[in-house]
Amino acid sequence: MAATDEARRLALAAADAAADKKAHDVIVLDVSDQLVITDVFVIASAANERQVGAIVDNVEEKLREAGRKPVRREGAREGRWVLLDFVDVVVHVQHSEERSFYGLERLWKDCPQIEFEARPVTDDADEVAEA
């Protein structure tokens, strides 16, 4: 069974929010055939702990605007790997070293990837100038 449309929509919103804060290697995986507890994983990397925190905060803010709050948040204190559980979507924001070491993509390589392309980040000043 494939991920629900709602799970896909939320996962892509989370991926966009991560990309907005310059997360790199953002991928979205449909894990619904492998896991009963969630439909989609969003995995994103950051260069340092401060950036991990900024990405996590932005994902939470954007999904809160979409009417969703995480039921669980783990790892925020250390800032190396933060997990946000939105039930049907789980967001993993990892320091680049943790991502390389744990290799979540390798563990879930049999799961289909959901197409995601980061939008270019624009400055507010650019948007005002274009309007």
- In tens, the pLDDT along 20-61 reads 999 999 999 999 999 989 999 999 999 999 999 999 999 999
Q: In the prediction, which pLDDT does 1 show?
A: 65
Q: What's the CA gap between 74 and 48, in Å, rounded?
A: 17
* pLDDT exceeds cutoff 70 at 122: no
The H helix count followed by the E strand count for the chain is 5, 6
**What are the tens digits of pLDDT across the range 36-47?**
899 999 999 999
Q: What is the pTM of this model?
A: 0.87
